[in-house]
Amino acid sequence: MDIFEHVGKKIQEFRNGMGLSQEGLAKELKVATNTISRWETGTYKPDLKDLDSVARFFKVSIIEFLPKEMVPSNDPVNALLRAAKQLEPSDLEELQRYAEYRKAKHLLKDATRSRPGRKRKDA
């Protein structure tokens, strides 16, 4: 399963967990209903802005949509959050979302980068 199939399955999982239809989620996110369907099947690849909107709607971290093996165990986001304990709750939440957004941006960029080497010709 590639990363975007995984993302699609997670969107579907969160949506179903709320008892929400694809149409209902599309309406909330202000996108076409078939966009949700295509994200869930991996036909369309949601960009970071879309994924951020989905994460905010479900009130979860954007990191929740990525495969666990892509997220290092020595997560620097947690260290940053520990250092920011004296921030107001709204500032802390925004800082967390920004850090997670930036992290997801790099992880998704790495996942979509083509592999090095010569391209093979089909025989």
- The enclosing domain of 83 has a CATH number of 1.10.260.40
pTM of this structure = 0.64
3-state secondary structure of 87: coil
Q: What is the pLDDT of residue 86?
A: 67
Give me the residue label for tokens 């975007």. 4
Tally the residues of the chain. 123
Distance between CA atoms of residues 47 and 108, nearest Å: 9
103, part of any domain: yes
Q: What is the pLDDT of residue 118?
A: 53
Count of domains for the chain: 1
102, part of any domain: yes
Q: What is the pLDDT of residue 39?
A: 95
Cα–Cα distances in angstroms (integers) from residue 91 to residues 19, 70, 95, 97, 99, in the given order: 31, 27, 6, 10, 12
- Determine the structural domain holding residue 43 and report its residue range: 3-112
